[in-house]
Amino acid sequence: MSNSRNYHWRIAGFYFFYYAFVGMFSPYWSLYLQSIHFGAIEISILMSIQPVMRMVAPSIWGWLADHSGKRLLVVQVAASLSALFYLGVFATTSFWGLFLVLMLMSFFWSASMPLVEATTLTYLGKNTAHYGRIRSWGSISFIVSVVGLGYAFDYIAIAWLLWAGLVCEVGILVFSRQIPKTEVLAHHTDHQPIRQIVLQPRVLALFGGCFLMAVAHGPYYTFYSIYLVEHGYAKSAVGGLWALGVICEIGVFFLMPALVRRFGFVRILLASFGAAVLRFLLIGWAVDWVVLVLFAQMLHAMTFGSFHAASIGMVHEFFQGRHQSRGQALFGSVTYGAGGMLGGLASGPIWQHWGPAALYSCSAGAALIGLLLMRWKLRNMAENRAAVA
């Protein structure tokens, strides 16, 4: 039992520092770029480098982990090189200099999380519904990061953000060496090529719908902080709003075991997509109504919290045995990688030419298409589960 607790905290520690970095990067990196005089197009390009690397890198690292059987070593090497290349942000403020630094750093930074997700779910075994309780430590660190930095930047220069990122990188590196080894159990699909699993209609629908959800969130991660500041919100209020969403997300993570037993992954996903449509419409058209802004942030519990836990759980069900690492890596590449890249890159021109309301309406449209796709191809899974229940 004591070993189990130690393993829990080792994995939780990695999530803590990894998502503390996200809490530093997603809300505030665009403000840092704005402070060194980059325009909307340049910001959208630089903010899209990380999603691009999340599209390219995980599949490479996932293949290496499954092929070598040394998943944790791959995580440790990636964490070391990510921390090394991050140091470049202190050396340049030019567009192409930051482009190169962020590209190299993100290539290695994005490699580790799909492999850690696979490790966590293997570690949990039959208790995968409890994934959210370990993952919640990432959400807690996100809150600490986003709130603490939000208040700090009302008093200190945004350039101090670079040091916060370095602390997170070092923490990731330290805990990458504490994650326990797990045994990947043999499965009857081990002999199948992974493309045979990917090309199943239900898997394609899951990947396609989640890709669209990531597209919908691209403008949120790229311009939401700038959007709020331009409408008169203090940076501390911006941090508070980001934190509110994640607090609600933590609540859902702890409720996921009960929600999965009651509704199943598919129904949870459908509800998450519906909430995303409403949320992005509220962000786009009700930014001056504080109550509605607060409500929109509370919907983060569904548009990310329940969505992420349910989608990761379904990927784990679809990709078993020796396909676990590559399955999670492919999912991350297609959704958070390709989807985040498209959403981030498209957000710059739309923001510049048509404005925030049109941009977040496009987000709502992407979530709606994802909802329709998921309902079309995965509804039978939900109905079958209901019939069994």
Domain that holds residue 92: 2-179+191-388
User: Among candidates 22, 19, 47, 23, which has minimal Cα distance to 33?
Assistant: 47
Contacts of 224 by beta carbon, 8 Å cutoff, 6+ apart = 27, 283
166 found inside a domain:
yes
**Into how many domains does the chain fold?**
1
Expressed in angstroms, the distance from the first to the final Cα of the chain is 33
How does DSSP classify residue 156? S
Q: What angle do CA 37, 42, 48 make, to 5 degrees?
A: 130
Helix (H, G, I), strand (E, B) or coil at 19: helix
Tokens of 246: 């994640």
Angle between helices 2-35 and 235-285 (to 10 degrees): 80
The model's pTM is 0.78
Cα–Cα distance between 200 and 305 in angstroms, integer?
26
* Range with lowest mean pLDDT among 139-153, 190-204, 285-299, 370-384: 370-384
Side chain identity at residue 75, one-letter code: V
Using the predicted structure, report yes or no on whether residue 215 has a pLDDT greater than 60.
Answer: yes
Look at the alpha carbons of 100, 101, 104, 109 in this order and tell me if their dihedral is positive or negative: negative
Is position 45 within any domain?
yes
Query: Is 186 part of any domain?
Result: no
Residue 154 φ/ψ, nearest 5 degrees: -75, -15
Residue 379 is encoded by which pair of tokens? Answer: 């509804």
Residue 185 lies in a domain: no
54-74 pLDDT per residue, tens: 888 887 887 787 777 778 888
Query: Cβ distance 71 to 65 under 8 Å?
Result: yes
Residue 44 pLDDT > 90: no
Residue 14 belongs to domain with CATH number:
1.20.1250.20
Residue 217: per-residue pLDDT: 95
Q: Is residue 9 one of the residues assigned to a domain?
A: yes
- Contact (Cβ atoms closer than 8 angstroms) between residue 95 and residue 42: yes
pLDDT winner (highest mean) among 91-100, 175-184, 231-240: 91-100
- Give burial (CB, 10 Å; 0-12/13-18/19+) of 183: exposed
User: Could you write out the three-class secondary structure of 284-345?
Assistant: HHCCCCHHHHHHHHHCHHHHHHHHHHHHHHHHHHHCCHHHHHHHHHHHHHHHHHHHHHHHHH
What is the pLDDT at residue 62?
Answer: 79
pLDDT score for 164: 94
375 part of a folded domain? yes
Q: Which pLDDT tens digit goes with each residue over 235-281?
A: 889 888 988 998 999 999 989 989 998 999 999 999 999 999 999 99
Helix (H) or strand (E) holding 171: helix 161-176
Nearest to 268 by CA among 308, 237, 297, 240: 308
Task: Please report which confidence band the pLDDT of residue 47 belongs to, taking 50, 70 and 90 as the band edges.
Answer: confident
Examine residue 184 and state whether it is found in any structural domain, yes or no.
no
Residue 341 clears pLDDT 90, i.e. is over it: no
Please give the Cα distance from 108 to 74 (Å, whole number).
10
Kindly indicate the confidence band of residue 124, based on its pLDDT and cuts at 50, 70 and 90.
Answer: confident
Give the chain's mean pLDDT.
87
Is position 217 within any domain? Answer: yes
